[in-house]
Amino acid sequence: MASIPRQWVTFAGRRVNAAAEGPPEPGAEPLWPEDTRLRVSRGRMAGERAVVVGAGGISGAWFPPLKAEGVNIMAVVDLDIDAARRRIAEFELAARPSSDLAGTLSELQPDFVVDLTVPEAHCAVTCTALEAGCHVIGEKPMAASMDEARQMVAASERTGRLYMVSQSRRWSAMHYLVRDVARSGEIGDITTMNCDFYIGAHFGGFRDDMPSPLVLDMSIHHFDLVRFFSGTDPVAVYAKEFDPKGSWYKGDVAASCIFEMSGGVVFTYRGSWCAEGCHTSWNGDWRLVGDRGTVIFEKDRPPYGQTLAGDTGFHRPLRDVAVPHPQPRAEGMHGGLLEMLDYLREGTVPQTECHDNIRSLAMVFAAIESAKLGQRVAIAS
Ligand SMILES: NC(=O)c1ccc[n+]([C@@H]2O[C@H](COP(=O)([O-])OP(=O)(O)OC[C@H]3O[C@@H](n4cnc5c(N)ncnc54)[C@H](O)[C@@H]3O)[C@@H](O)[C@H]2O)c1
């Protein structure tokens, strides 16, 4: 579980008592004292009620896990109400279609909102939902700017409602392996991390015209993964964005970034969405170096590595690292949804709660700023 910033501990770290049965623990506060909508049974909430906002492409990946977990999808809201109607029919939902978010939330008072709108709408949709008293799980990237992201975090604090980002690539069996072997002590303390991402991607849509398509739309996943793998946070970045010869994108679709991470760790990121041939994995190909060994993770194959087995010789003797076998309970969006349900049922703060996820977003905007300025940019903690 990611570390929780102090301000969030003040907000949610109080001793809570979410169990409905038995006497409350002495001194414990109810989870949400003013919230009579929580229906808790045997320590678990039954049939949580949700409103889904945004019925576009990615919603097709959300309705199956929501249904599988028994979530009561009360409404699907989209500016285009026909899109909402189509998704309701396609997934056979007993939900109402709507194009009026505020009215729908006021009337239905769901437990949480799933924000699947475009990045430019995330701030308005999520803040509306938080102010209406709902918890929110929203698609990445958190926001279209750091100012908006800060507004969202402030709204979560002000309203006392949880906002988490679904950073879906975290919930992957292979990525849990990398995290656990990197942090197991087998390779000592991590000093250096590299990620290469090279894919020739012909989307033919909005990405062809947007500025910084790689860093804004894709690298957020890799920047979040480096924090997940290593447990470090960004300190500063020097970045160069560019549009290589032959590119079919208008914006800069390639980047080389050197991040200074906490603990003196250096993370070098090289990526391009217009690199034909010899593609890397969509998750990137990784090298994590510690002061006693190295772990490699490439082409989505299980990670492997070597660590010191002796202290003499030009090349020190090495042995293979032991790779543990942790498993997330579910992959992708389903894994994120389970963390939201854990929060509603038990008060466990999700690893991508907004105070944590804003640090991954900060890497994106600092890299873009550094490339514009041509200089190193510090990243506020
Ligand atoms: N995790 C992943 O791997 C992954 C993959 C694809 C997309 N995404 C993310 O999911 C989000 C949505 O992507 P998409 O591909 O579904 O986009 P999309 O354009 O297909 O769908 C977005 C939908 O949101 C609706 N919408 C926009 N503003 C709205 C508002 N203010 N209120 C209500 N509805 C609104 C639009 O009408 C549209 O139907 C983006 O943030 C994207 O980055 C994540």
Residue 369 lies in a domain: yes
Nearest CA to ligand 1 atom 19: 56
Residue 1 lies in a domain: no
Note whether 51 and 159 are same-domain residues: yes
The model's pLDDT over 41-95, given as tens digits with 9 standing for 90+, comes to: 333 456 899 999 999 999 999 999 999 999 999 999 999 999 999 999 999 999 9
Query: Do 178 and 79 reside in the same domain of the chain?
Result: no
Q: What pLDDT score was predicted for residue 45? A: 52
User: Is 188 in the same domain as 218?
Assistant: yes
Report in angstroms the alpha-carbon separations of 72 from 48, 49, 68, 163. Answer: 6, 5, 10, 19
> In this structure, are 302 and 187 located in the same domain?
yes
Kindly report the pTM of this predicted structure.
0.87
Task: Return d(Cα 25, Cα 68) in angstroms, integer.
Answer: 33
Q: How many domains does the chain have?
A: 2
**For residues 237 and 267, what is the distance between their CA atoms, to the nearest angstrom?**
9
Give me the domain span that covers residue 191: 172-326+362-378
Domain check: are 201 and 151 in the same one? no
Q: How far apart are CA 19 and CA 30, in angstroms?
A: 9
Low-confidence ranges of the chain (pLDDT < 50): 1-44
Q: Are residues 134 and 83 both part of a single domain?
A: yes
Tell whether the torsion through CA atoms of 139, 142, 144 and 150 is positive or negative: positive
Q: Are residues 249 and 318 in the same domain?
A: yes
Domain identity same for 227 and 115: no
Ligand 1 lined by 76 (C-beta under 6 Å): no
CATH number, domain containing residue 135: 3.40.50.720
Kindly give the distance from the C-alpha atom of residue 141 to the centroid of ligand 1, in angstroms, as a whole number. Answer: 10
Residues 265 and 315 in one domain: yes
The alpha carbon of 271 is separated from its chain's Cα centroid by a whole number of angstroms, namely 19
Cα–Cα distance, 165 to 144 (Å, whole number): 13
Q: What percent of the chain has pLDDT over 90?
A: 82
Partnered with residue 257 across adjacent β-strands are: 239, 269
Query: Has residue 17 been placed in a domain?
Result: yes
Write down the residue that tokens 């190193």 correspond to.
Answer: 376
Query: Is 201 found in the same domain as 71?
Result: no
Please indicate, yes or no, if residue 262 is contained in any of the structural domains. yes
| 79 CB near ligand 1 (under 6 Å) | yes
CATH number at residue 298: 3.30.360.10
**Residues 317 and 206 grouped into a single domain:** yes
- Please say whether the dihedral angle defined by the alpha carbons of residues 30, 32, 36 and 39, taken in this order, is positive or negative: negative
Same-domain pairing of 152 and 86:
yes
168 Cβ inside 6 Å of ligand 1 = yes
CA of 263 to the centre of ligand 1 (A): 36
